[in-house]
Every structure is written in C-alpha cells, then in structure tokens.
Structure 1
Amino acid sequence: MKNFIYLLLIFILVSCSIEKYPAIPKGATVVILGDSLSYGTGASEGEDYPNLLAKTTGWQIINAGIPGNTSADGLERLPRLLTAHRPKLLVVALGGNDFLQRLPSSETTANLKAILEQAKTQGITAVLVAVPELSPLKAAVGSLSDHPLYKKIAEETATPLVKNVFSEVLSDNSLKADQVHPNASGYGVVSGQMFEALKKLGFAG
C-alpha cells in the first residue's frame, strides 16, 4: 500500500510539472518558422508536417519553412512574418543548418533567443522545437539525440519545448528520405508527436 501511494504521488508531481498554456482555438493562425524539415523536403507536396498538423488541429498554419535557412535567416525573416500574420502561436524549428555548417553554438543560441524575445515582446506565444545534434556515428546506429542547447534555451527563456520528435524519427531508417530528412511516413510521425506534445502543453485540444 505504501508503495502504491508513493507511486501515485510521483505521478501527480510529474503531471503537475507540465505547465498548461491557453488553448489555441480552431481557425487561429499559427506560424511555423523553420527550414527544410518544416518545408517538407523528402516528401511530396502536402505531406509536410505543418500541413498535416493543420488538418489535425484545425489551425490555419503558415508553413514558413525554407530549405537551407539558418537561425540567422529565420531571425531576419521573423519581423515580416509576425507583421503579416499576427499569429496566436509561433513554432520555432531552426538550428539544423547551423549544425551542418558547424556555426558556433553561441551564435545559434543568440539567434534563437532573439526570435523568442521578439515574439514575447509582441505578445505572441512561442514554442521551441528541438533538433538533433549533428553526429554521424549516432545517426549510423540510430540513436540521435536533441542538441543540448534547446533545453538550455527553453529553461533560460521560460519557453515550452517540444523534445525528441525529430531525433526519434531521424533515428529510424524506415522514416527517412535521406540522412537529414524524413520521408512522407516520417513527417506523419512528426505531425502526430508534435500534436501530442502541443496537447500536453494545453495548446491543442
């Protein structure tokens, strides 16, 4: 009985530790600021995860993913996107190209923090999506993990973090079109896991 109560208390504490955010209503505008992973490289038109997520949530999702974009490119594009769309939610999924180009992590961190700060100053809620750390060895054995800078940024900026989605998908060869992009099935998994993460945070119903 004591063990049961102990386990119950742990479950309650873990459940309470997930902060809940106001729900984003159906029809609301959501911007996903990203690179080729958001654009949908590796799959056919309409099979990208922002399009799939829009169907699940009922949100009007603007896919602002541009292949090759770095965090600096995303930061440069952000003001126009926020002005044009005034989203209820900004999903930030950048950094992969920074890692591929071996840019200093300090620059990536500064750019991502600036993106999140811009959204905050305009009263727009932002979510950060973690991207895998560049590791050919881990990729070869199917055990990619999120780059640690995302957890640190999320903690330092009090930003909700979507973890392990791309790391898990890109660790599975059956879900990849190439070494750094999911295929159509992979984007389906990304969309599903993204929805579940946003649901736990309270954004999606």
Structure 2
Amino acid sequence: MMRFIGLVLLVFITGCSQSDKVTLHAGDSILAFGDSLTVSVGAKNSTYPQQLAQLTGLEVIASGVSGEQTAQGLERFKRALDTHQVQAVVLLEGGNDFLRNQDSGQTKANLGAMITHAQSKGIAVILVAVPTKSLFLSDAPLYQQLSEQYQVVLVADILSELLGDNRFKSDAIHLNDQGYRRLALAIADVIEVER
C-alpha cells in the first residue's frame, strides 16, 4: 500500500512540476524580449541575444527597450509576437518596475499576461528572474511563482549573482561583456536544440 501511495505521489509531483528545458528544432527562432538588459547596455562587443544565437545556432530576434516597465512591455510584447514568427521567447522584464517602486502585484500580473499571450500562440516561454532592489540581491519571489503557475522554464539566480559581482557588471544595474556572456550561457543551458 505504501509503495502504491509513493508511486501516485511521484506521478503527481512529476506531472505538476514545470519543465527545466525548452526543446526547439533547427530553423526555429527565439524572441529575446525585455528592457536595457536585453539591449545589453554596458556591453562593448556583442549583446546577449547575439551570443545566445551563436550558442544555440538559432535565430534570436532582439527586442529590448531601455527603461521599459512591464506595463509598457505588455503592449509591445503583444505586437512583437504578432510581428515575429517565433517558437520561443526569453522574457526578461521587471527590473525597472522594481527600481521605480511599482506595485509587485501589478508587475506579476503584467508578466503573467505576457506569458498567457505567448502560450495562447503555442510559443514556449523562458522566464529570467530579476532581483529586487535591496542591499543583498536576490530574485523577486514573483518569478518562481509565475514559473510554477504557468509551467514555464525559469532561469533563476543568474542575474542576482552577476549583478552582485563587480567583475560582471558595468554599473549598478547593467552587466559588462563577461556578464552578458554568462547570462547567454545560462539561458542557452535551458534550451535543447534537436537537429
């Protein structure tokens, strides 16, 4: 009886956990959507979307706007997905909401609406967690919550780690070339490309 209960729990947990990889195919495209980190402010050589394209061998369309908050991003996100035929989106937004002390519930709702819109089009979402504004950088809890709620891949802790280390940032809120390289590697690590 205990084995049966254990098996049922294992199946339930496995069935309810979010995926840790997005599977794409040769020829697929990715939309890198976000704010100044997607623009790669602070980089002198190549942007993180360019590096992600090199790492995956896939087309990566960069769609970043410096200073953008999720309220503006939500409208732009819908237009971007209507414009570009992509199979996956890397969603990296929320930092400007935190910097401007926006309501975290509204930030979560805006990001949730973006995820829902992508999923309604059959587009896989890779969510990159952004740290909250605090003395000790750590991911805002809403990213883990969104990942679980919508069953999307989460790239956690990488921005908190990079922005907490002077070797990888160009200023207090942007990365440098080495930082963007590590960000691209972390995102590429959750993408499986079937050739």
Amino acid paired to 1:130: A
Determine the structure 2 residue equivalent to 1:161. Answer: 154
What is the CA-CA distance between 1:19 and the residue it aligns to? 3.0
**1:195, 1:204 within 8 Å by CA — same for their partners in 2?**
no
- Structural RMSD (CA): 2.0
State the identity %.
38
Residues 22 and 37 of structure 1, relative CA distance in 2, 3 Å threshold: closer
**2:19, 2:152 within 8 Å by CA — same for their partners in 1?**
no
Amino acid paired to 1:26: A
Q: Deviations over 1:36-83 (max 9, x none)?
A: 011110112x52111101001011101111100111111110122111
What is the CA-CA distance between 1:179 and the residue it aligns to? 0.4
Report the number of matched residues. 181
Residues 185 and 74 of structure 1, relative CA distance in 2, 3 Å threshold: same
Amino acid paired to 2:47: D
Q: Deviations over 1:71-115 (max 9, x none)?
A: 111111012211111210011100000000000001101100000
Residues 181 and 75 of structure 1, relative CA distance in 2, 3 Å threshold: same
**1:92, 1:128 within 8 Å by CA — same for their partners in 2?**
yes
Determine the structure 2 residue equivalent to 1:40. Answer: 40
What is the CA-CA distance between 1:191 and the residue it aligns to? 1.1
Structure 2 residue matching 1:90: 3-state secondary structure: strand
Structure 2, unmatched stretches of 5+, are 1-12
Structure 1 or 2: larger strand share? 2
Residues 203 and 19 of structure 1, relative CA distance in 2, 3 Å threshold: farther
Structure 1, unmatched stretches of 5+, are 1-12, 139-143
Counterpart of 2:177 (choices 169, 180, 184) is 184
Instruction: Kindly indicate whether residue 71 of structure 2 is the aligned counterpart of residue 78 of structure 1.
Output: no
Q: Deviations over 1:112-136 (max 9, x none)?
A: 000000011111111211001111x
| Pairing 1:113-124 to 2, within 5 Å after superposition | 113-124=112-123
User: TM (normalized to structure 2)?
Assistant: 0.86
CA distance in 2, matches of 1:165, 1:20: 15
Structure 2 residue matching 1:23: 3-state secondary structure: strand
Residues 21 and 188 of structure 1, relative CA distance in 2, 3 Å threshold: closer
User: TM (normalized to structure 1)?
Assistant: 0.82
**1:26, 1:59 within 8 Å by CA — same for their partners in 2?**
yes
